[in-house]
Amino acid sequence: MILTYWSHVACTSAQAQTIVSLRPFDDHADFRTKINRKKGIGYKVFETYMSVMEGYSSLDDLLAECEELGRGISKVVSKWAGAESLSAAASKAPSAVPSRTGPDVQLKDYQLLGVNWLNLLWTRRMSCILADEMGLGKTIQVIALLAHIKEAHPDAAYRHLVVVPPSTLENWVREFDRFAPELNVQTYYGTQTERSQLRHELYDAPFDVLVTTYNFAGGNEHDRKFFSKKMKWETCIFDEGHMLKNFQSQRYENLMKITAPWRLLLTGTPLQNNLQELVSLLNFIMPELFIKHEGSLRAIFKTKADTHQSFLSRDRVTRAKKMMTPFVLRRRKDQVLKDLPKKTERIEWCEMTSMQRTIYREALQRSRKTVQTLGDESHGDTSSNVLMDLRKAASHPMLFRRLFDDAKLKVMAKHCLKEPEFCESNYNYVVEDMEVMTDAELQYFCKKYKSVNRHALDDDCYLAAGKISKLMALLEQYKADNKRVLIFSQFTQILDILQAIFKTKDIKYLVLTGSTAVDERQGLVDEFNEDEGISVFLLSTKAGGMGINLTAACVVIIFDQDFNPHNDKQACDRAYRIGQKRDVDIVKLITKGTIEEDMYRIGNTKLMLDDAVAGNGDDEGESKTEKLMKSSLLSVLRKQFEKEENDGVDETADSVENVEPTASATPAAKGRVTLDQSAPDIVIVDSDIEMADGENKNENGRLEDAVKNAAIVV
């Protein structure tokens, strides 16, 4: 036991063995003397151990305090599931939809329960997390709560702050106007000059709700001072609360300074088995409990992340999640939506074309030495480049340069110098730029500029990929069935290729990527939902895979998989959510005999083992899930190469004959086609309300049913 403590908290296994061999220790001084005599072990090891253990001790005290607070909440909620009336369970709780909401708003049973749960914790000044699965209407529950507070306390002049990702601001305001028109809602955004004027106007203005973005809430000094010192808030609501999982980030620190008696975090993802994230969230919603333990808790955060997977933290993770249960409300679709249409998921296997097969094998051979050197570990850009080439080859050959040879590029470079845009450019530099462009980019270039139009390939060049053949057949069938389609891809160049194809096939479409202007995104969503003539919506998974309500489509096609399988699952939820009236088809295009098969297998296992979207709690770098996926894929490749060598397989045996020579795979060329990772997280808040007339069930009975049928879980 002692050995395990040491080896997992403060030192290596070898150091732990040495420390154990030196026992017994009379006191700290004796310990210091003995370990100082041993090379490779310093007294700092013991100091680190003690500071970490003090951190865990403080955490234990905190968990005990939180558990005590949660008992009262649990007692009230348990009454809701019994014979007690709602009014007896919580004073001034909304037993029906608040009158200040829109006249046609009809909350579902689980949403009414959510509003009551939020009201209960607000009245007790206990901050909380609403973590309903995406698509269950967290937005309307929040709006209904604020409408109820206004109705119950008309003379209080409460002000509420709602902090959201940039792309959701417009939709939040629209939802307030639609579902709580009597609330005075203002927004805070714009240029520095505009925000300066807003600060002056808002300070004394009579408003109920102020909606702003994370960027402005934690913006420059004047913005931060306005939110944290000048204004007095009754509640602070943070949409996409999982953005606050990093205790040590600048964003976290800035937003912690915005004080209010009550904080609410909204997230569509469940809590992780990660002690740092749990402590970060607890600290954010209950800072008054954590401030006295802050110093000792930071010792836990200073230790390497893998340390926290030791048994020292596992029991605390379990306890922390259990303790948080009264403060976290999470419902899944399968728990509360008994009338949601059926969802069918399937794989459409795609065959590679001859050129794809050649490119894929060559990419494998280029990666052989790198993969064997890396072993099972993911090493940043190196592993990303290896896997990226394989993924590109499995998707489309035009993500490489094969059709535009060097000789053609030199002629094109000479011709394009006639364009006003390039007339002062250096010929050699233009050639260099073209050499690292893909066939897809060069084809677009030829189409764009008249001087090089003659070098453009026939439009059929876009069709020479297994996935494209399969996709076009599917779209033809779905059009015949009058089904509209969402297509998600990791690669913006794939979306460019699809746009070029759709233009030649007269397929009406819209496209949304990370480069789409923020103020245009909601308009695109509305246009697709309202115009039945638009049969396809193209979206990059990063920019369009979260929060958008696209129930006008009943087919979701994942053109290529994300390293994090939960991101693909969230993308599917754009169509499979409240408001969907038709059965939903989820189709994943997977190329046979490629790394995509391994991605699917590993990702599917991950989904079965973990209900959560994993993250490292930081805004930078890869998520933990992505790193694990890459590590697993590298391991698969390494074992494949080792088997080939052991079996005496000739590395070049499968090389293709009579195919044009491959363009050099320079690092620059590899970097040309990138994932749409720079796209800001877009979470356009859902209009997840059932607008209905008709007879209402007894409200107390509805709440009892909702509690029984919808588990409150972490």
Provide the pLDDT for residue 592.
92
Report the C-alpha gap between 706 and 114 in whole angstroms: 9
Cis status, amide bond into 165, omega within 30 of 0: no
Report the C-alpha gap between 648 and 651 in whole angstroms: 9
Tokens of 706: 């909702």
Tokens of 667: 């690092």
Q: What is the pLDDT of residues 357-375, one digit of tens each?
A: 999 888 888 877 777 666 5
In this predicted structure, the answer to whether residue 13 has a pLDDT above a threshold of 90 is: no
Contact 211, 185 (CB under 8 A): yes
Provide the pLDDT for residue 380.
54
- Cα torsion 663, 666, 670, 671: sign: negative
Q: Classify each residue of 1-27 as buried b or exposed e, where b means 16 or more C-beta atoms within 10 Å of its C-beta.
A: eeeebbbbbbbeeebbebbeeeeeeee
In this predicted structure, the answer to whether residue 708 has a pLDDT above a threshold of 80 is: no
Contact 127, 642 (CB under 8 A): no
Environment class of residue 690 by beta-carbon count within 10 Å: exposed (0-12), middle (13-18) or buried (19+)?
A: middle
Provide the pLDDT for residue 707.
41
* Residues of the chain above pLDDT 70, percent: 71
Q: 91-270+330-338+696-709 adopts what CATH topology? A: Rossmann fold (3.40.50)
Contact 138, 90 (CB under 8 A): no
Report the C-alpha gap between 612 and 631 in whole angstroms: 19
Provide the pLDDT for residue 374.
61
In this predicted structure, the answer to whether residue 605 has a pLDDT above a threshold of 70 is: yes
Provide the pLDDT for residue 510.
96
Rounded to the nearest 10°, the torsion over CA 612, 613, 616, 619 is -140
Tokens of 549: 């309500």
In this predicted structure, the answer to whether residue 37 has a pLDDT above a threshold of 80 is: no
In this predicted structure, the answer to whether residue 470 has a pLDDT above a threshold of 80 is: yes
Q: What is the largest CA-CA distance in the chain?
A: 87
Among 11-15, 100-104, 139-143, 454-458, the minimum mean pLDDT is found in 100-104
Report the C-alpha gap between 522 and 388 in whole angstroms: 31
Tokens of 336: 């509360």
Report the C-alpha gap between 665 and 438 in whole angstroms: 11
- Determine the average pLDDT of the residues in 304-309: 44
In this predicted structure, the answer to whether residue 382 has a pLDDT above a threshold of 70 is: no
Gyration radius (Cα) of the chain, Å: 29
- Cα torsion 78, 81, 87, 91: sign: positive
Q: What is the pLDDT of residues 67-117, one digit of tens each?
A: 777 777 777 777 765 533 333 333 344 555 666 666 667 888 889 989 999
* 343-402+459-670 has the same fold as 91-270+330-338+696-709: yes
Provide the pLDDT for residue 533.
94
In this predicted structure, the answer to whether residue 43 has a pLDDT above a threshold of 80 is: no
Determine how β-strand 328-329 pairs with β-strand 555-558: unpaired
- In eight-state DSSP terms, residue 691 is E
Beta bridge partners, 485, equal: 536, 555
Contact 340, 348 (CB under 8 A): no
For the chain, what are the domain ranges? Answer: 91-270+330-338+696-709, 343-402+459-670, 406-455
Candidates 3.40.50.300, 3.10.450.50, 3.40.605.10, 3.10.580.10; CATH matching 343-402+459-670: 3.40.50.300
- In eight-state DSSP terms, residue 230 is I
Highest mean pLDDT among 409-413, 608-612, 630-634: 409-413
- Determine the average pLDDT of the residues in 608-632: 52
Q: What is the pLDDT of residues 519-549, one digit of tens each?
A: 788 889 899 999 999 999 999 988 776 667 8
* Strands (DSSP E) found in 384-521: 485-489, 509-512
Q: What is the pLDDT of residues 177-211, one digit of tens each?
A: 989 999 999 999 889 999 999 999 998 899 999 99
- Determine the average pLDDT of the residues in 500-504: 94
Among 413-417, 474-478, 607-611, the minimum mean pLDDT is found in 607-611
Select from 450, 420, 445 the least CA-distant residue to 431: 445
Mean per-residue pLDDT of the chain: 77
Among 336-340, 447-451, 586-590, 656-660, the minimum mean pLDDT is found in 656-660
Contact 488, 556 (CB under 8 A): yes
In this predicted structure, the answer to whether residue 612 has a pLDDT above a threshold of 50 is: no
Report the C-alpha gap between 213 and 519 in whole angstroms: 13
- Of the CA atoms within 13 Å of residue 513, those in its CB half-sphere come to 17
CA distances from 391 to 210, 370, 590 (A): 44, 16, 10
Provide the pLDDT for residue 271.
66
Environment class of residue 84 by beta-carbon count within 10 Å: exposed (0-12), middle (13-18) or buried (19+)?
A: middle
Provide the pLDDT for residue 700.
44
How many Cβ atoms sit within 10 Å of the Cβ of residue 706?
23
What are the backbone angles phi and psi of residue 157, rounded to the nearest 5°? 55, 40
Provide the pLDDT for residue 196.
94
